[in-house]
Structure 1
Amino acid sequence: MTAPDSQAIEANHGEKLRRSLTTPLLTLYGLGVTVGAGIYVLVGTTAAVAEAYAPVSFLIAAIVVAFTAFSYAELSTRYPVSAGEAAYVEAGFKSGLMATLVGLAVALSGMVSAAAVAIGAASYLQGMIVAPHWLLTVVVVVLMGLIALWGITQSVIVAAIITLIEICGLIFVSIWGFGMSGSVGIDFIDMLPPLIGPHWMGIGAASLLAFFAFVGFEDMANVAEEVKDPVSTMPKAIVLTLAIATMLYLATTTAVLMAVPLSKLASSSAPLALVFEMAPLGIQKSFAIVAIVATVNGVLIQMIMASRVLYGLADRGHMFSALAIVSRRTQTPVVATLLVMCIIILLTLALPIDELAERTSQIVLLVFILVNAALIRLKLRGDDEPDHFSVPIAVPLLGVLTSSLLFGTAWL
């Protein structure tokens, strides 16, 4: 990779990000990071903890996310800027230090998440390319970094195309798992847990892993500065992303549990490929390509998000001004993107996938608690304006409660 052309770059306030994202593109952006980052990689890990009740863990995670999603829908229309969570916390708590810490936590969660997904992508790639796992992981991260440097519109269009492919892949998994693979897994009726029993401890713990699969909608808030008409676009795209992802996850998880023995599923880092083990070779290879594409998409979008957070913090004076340098040619934050790419590579080489996923979930849940609390403070202060999307105060209150309860499962 060559160094950026210094004549094509201007700092802080010379070049600004371009508002070019519409509702369909933003929804596909959210679905790309949500769907690719979770279901293609972590179904097996979730099933290892919740066993037959893995779909229930995904449902619980979706409920937890829903309250916070509506809080983000309001806050992203109040403050449609990069590093959104940092701006929300700064407005709610009047603390630049808290804003900086939250912004760094969000960027870190994106980089840790991207590292987890890059490891999953390399696992799928190893089924087709004979090469060391670490080398494939590094190649994935570098290629996605180059696309992220290309430009926001180009990056999101690439991500949108990939997202459509990965959604079709999940639909195919569901159809094959339900009707064509031969049921050698768990019967549907056995996936419904009794109302009382020790199994809820496992379901709760697995919900923290399943929550990782929903990490993504909040990333849309961090590209709000590049969205056309954010007051209208942001709420619609956030709700659509969450609704579509939830339906896909429940269908896919149920189909995989029915088609694959639990013992094999729980030990796999490329779980969805197991559905096609008895399928014709052409179908196996076709799905492997879809899975690779889906997982690298998650790396790309998390990389875009983390770089925008660092850019936003620097642009508002909370971090080194070099991180706010924007290329005049591509209008992307060059230094921030290169830094994010290097950190992701280091994380992929240092930590296993399940630990990366759990740490991502914990960081994001802490951010959710603070973001909901910031909205509560704004509403109690009466800081309302007529030109933004608004939710009742009960929504952020329930967001704090549900996020805290799920975060607490990590310590049980």
Structure 2
Amino acid sequence: MNFYELIGYDRDGTVRDLDTALNKGTLTTRDVTFSALGFNAPGWIAASSMSILYSISGHHAPLAILIAYFFPMLVMAFCMISLTRQAPSAGGIFTFTSRFLHTRVGTILGWAYSVACMAVMAMCAIIGTEYIQALFPVLAGPLNAKLIGTGMVLIFLAISCNGVNATAKVASVFLIFEISVVAGLGLMGIINPQVPDLSVMSMYTLEGAGGWSAIGPGVLFGVWMLANFDSAINYIEESRIPVRTVQRSMLLVLTSAFVIYSLAAIGWQYAVPVEKLAAIIEDGNGGPIAAVANVYLPPAMAWIALFVVITSACAGLQISSSAAARTLYRMSEEGHLPAAFRSVNKSRSPWLASVIVSALAITLLWWKPLDKISWYYDVVTITLVMSYMAAIAAFIVMTFRRQRFVMALALSIPAALAILVLGYIGYTAGANPVSPEDQYTAWYLGALTILSGAMIVFWQSRVSRQAVLTPMQES
């Protein structure tokens, strides 16, 4: 058995067609990669998270990103690649857990992943609104913020309902601009350094970082920065060579995010002292992107630092909407949600699922506006952690079913360690949140998500029971 067979990579593109009502055979590897990378939102993550990473790891921020890339993220990626070959479906997490754990577990985890996507939608609308108001102060005000956020959701609902081709094209435009700014400023720092006595090699020394215990918190934060590469799976039913396209895209998205953030983590230190970068608090001002842009760009181009976050938020909003809608569509196709969720329009887009997730996102942004942004972090963190842990558990079960015991054990050990890392992230999200007043909030939200998923399971079982009893009563 060669390496490709071991990980389940569809090297020859043997899977050419999937049973779906969506617009199959449409997306290329590039389309899926750009779309999924939009969920990662490099511009917003760089603006909001890089200063935090600098404050945790200092000069060794690139090392933290490197370690997080190889473990646990690359391990998780190979788990997803293998699962995608055995259970190709736009349902992603839902399908994996349904087939290899339990159908009811799949319902709960599919719902949890959808909740994460809807929370990302609302959060991106709020973030985009914050930066639009910063760019155009005349639009300031809490009511205007809610109206702008609502408008953003409705605009991208219209784009999503217009078909997956439109979604992919818009995502490509946003991503090209984001990558050019975030990675470009990093390259400027490396090519034209302003801070003396820095060495790239010293940024990657574990001893200089203070050992594993010192770099550990930065690695955990790096996991957050590199997450969401798996959203490529939600486009599998619309891809030209479904399995191979998505498998390639997941690795490309994860590696692209790693390269982008590594360039930024290295190059920005050469532009602005790391102590200043670590002290920056992102509050609609572009964060460290603005600080670095001010070094290399003329004052007339200061708007770029704000605009790149707006485009990033728009891309994240659009792709998270698509991911949620396609998950709910697949859950409906397999009888876990009402049949209406599987409705598609003439563009073969799951329009009703898109309308519902957009309506829920609008409800969230009116209920939890900008001053509650940490609430969204809690929701997204705990629901994604639960989803990823369950998916890796599904990989372990699948591996023991398909491989000899010794090989299955060898493949499962790194996967089990990745579950432990994710579990610790979920634990710290509740026990040690960014805001002390939010202690345990993530756990409560996770429990509420599981409870709501269990209610869907209960509804599903009642509907199934009635479907069986009705013919018996009529006879």
Please report the TM-score for the alignment, with normalisation by the length of structure 2: 0.73
Q: Does 1:251 align with 2:289?
A: no
**SS of the counterpart of 2:417?**
helix
Indicate the SS of the match to 1:381: helix
| CA-CA distance at 1:199 after TM superposition | 8.5
**Residues in 2 aligned to 1:214 and 1:134: alpha-carbon distance in whole angstroms:** 29
Q: 1:330-388 CA distances to partner (integer Å, 9 max, x unpaired)?
A: 2111121112112223334516434423542332222222112212212212289xxxx
Q: 1:106 aligns with which of 113, 136, 142?
A: 113
Partner of residue 277 from structure 2, selected from 250, 262, 281: 262
Q: Select the residue among 34, 38, 42 that pairs with 2:40.
A: 34
Match in the other structure for 2:293: 276
The CA distance in 2 between the partners of 1:358 and 1:202, in whole Å, is 24
Instruction: State the AA in 2 paired with 1:223.
Output: Y
Whose radius of gyration is greater, 1 or 2?
2
Q: In the aligned structure 2, how far is the partner of 1:25 from the partner of 1:393?
A: 36
Point out where structure 1 has 5 or more consecutive residues left out of the alignment: 1-12, 385-390
Is the CA contact 1:50–1:199 (under 8 Å) kept in the aligned structure 2?
A: no
1:335-354 pair list within 5 angstroms: 335-349=352-366, 350=368, 352-354=372-374
Match of 1:357 among 364, 377, 394: 377
Aligned AA (1:262):
L
Does residue 420 of structure 2 align to residue 408 of structure 1? no
The Cα shift of 1:124 comes to 2.7
Shift in Å, 1:155: 0.7
More displaced, 230-239 or 119-128? 119-128
Contact 1:68 1:396 in 2 (8 A): no
The CA deviation string for residues 46-74 of structure 1, in whole angstroms up to 9 with x for no partner, is 33444444333333332311111111112
Q: How does 1:307-322 map to 2 (within 5 A)?
A: 307-322=325-340
Alignment of 1:374-393 (within 5 A): 374-382=394-402
Which of 125-134 and 145-154 deviates more? 125-134
Go from structure 1 to structure 2 and tell me whether the alpha carbon gap of 1:358 and 1:192 turns closer, same or farther (over 3 Å shift). farther
Go from structure 1 to structure 2 and tell me whether the alpha carbon gap of 1:186 and 1:263 turns closer, same or farther (over 3 Å shift). Answer: farther
* Match of residue 119 from structure 1: 126
Distance 1:242 1:176 in 2: 23
Which residue in 2 is equivalent to 1:3? Answer: none
Which whole-Å CA distance do the structure 2 matches of 1:202 and 1:343 have between them?
40
With a CA cutoff of 8 Å and minimum separation of 6, indicate the structure with the bigger relative contact order: 1
**3-state SS of the aligned residue for 2:194?**
coil
Structure 2 vs 1, CA of residues 207 and 145 (structure 1 numbering), >3 Å: closer, same or farther?
Answer: farther
Residue-by-residue CA offset, 1:184-238 (whole Å, 9 max, x unaligned): 9988677557549889667544444432322222111122111111232222211
CA–CA separation in structure 2 for the residues paired with 1:14 and 1:207: 39
Q: Is the 8 A contact 2:53 2:278 kept in 1?
A: no
Residue in structure 2 matching 1:128, options 122, 135, 141 = 135
For the 8 Å contact 1:314–1:323, the answer to whether it is kept is: yes
How far apart are the structure 2 equivalents of 1:201 and 1:141? 42
Shift in Å at residue 111 of structure 1?
1.9
State the one-letter code of the partner of 1:151: G
CA distance in 1, matches of 2:48, 2:401: 43
Q: In the alignment, is the contact (CA less than 8 A) between 1:181 and 1:275 conserved in 2?
A: no
Distance 1:178 1:88, change over 3 A: same
Instruction: Indicate the residue corresponding to 1:368 in structure 2.
Output: 388
Q: 2:120 is aligned with what amino acid? A: S
Q: 1:388 matched to which residue of 2?
A: none
What residue ranges of structure 2 are gaps of 5+ in the alignment? 1-18, 433-475
Q: What is the match of residue 415 of structure 2?
A: 399
Equivalence for 1:61: 68
The CA distance in 2 between the partners of 1:301 and 1:58, in whole Å, is: 24
> Does 1:19 pair with 2:25?
yes
* Change beyond 3 A, Cα 1:62–1:178: same
1:169 aligns with 2:181: yes
Q: Is the 8 A contact 1:15 1:326 kept in 2?
A: yes
**Does the CA-based 8 Å contact 1:208-1:361 persist in structure 2?**
no
Give the number of the structure whose residues are more often helix, by fraction: 2
- Larger mean CA deviation between 273-282 and 43-52 belongs to 43-52
Moved more, 301-310 or 139-148: 139-148
2:310 is the alignment partner of 1:302? no
Q: 1:80 aligns with which of 73, 88, 91?
A: 88
Distance across 1 between alignment mates of 2:199 and 2:122: 34
Deviates more, 1:33-42 or 1:225-234: 33-42
Separation in structure 1 between the aligned mates of residue 124 and residue 212 of structure 2, nearest angstrom: 27
Whether the 8 Å contact between 1:111 and 1:303 is mirrored in structure 2 is yes
Distance 1:175 1:143, change over 3 A: same
Per-residue deviation, 1:406: 3.9
Mapped partners of 1:200, 1:90: distance in 2? 37
What do residues 369-412 of structure 1 show as CA deviations (whole Å, max 9, x unaligned)?
2112212212212289xxxxxx9764454133124224314146
Deviation at 1:264, TM superposition (A): 4.0
* RMSD of aligned alpha carbons: 3.1
Secondary structure, in 3 states, of the residue corresponding to 2:337?
A: coil
Q: Is the 8 A contact 2:118 2:357 kept in 1?
A: yes
Letter aligned with residue 265 of structure 1: I
Q: Provide the TM-score with structure 1 as the length reference.
A: 0.84
Shift of 1:100: 0.4
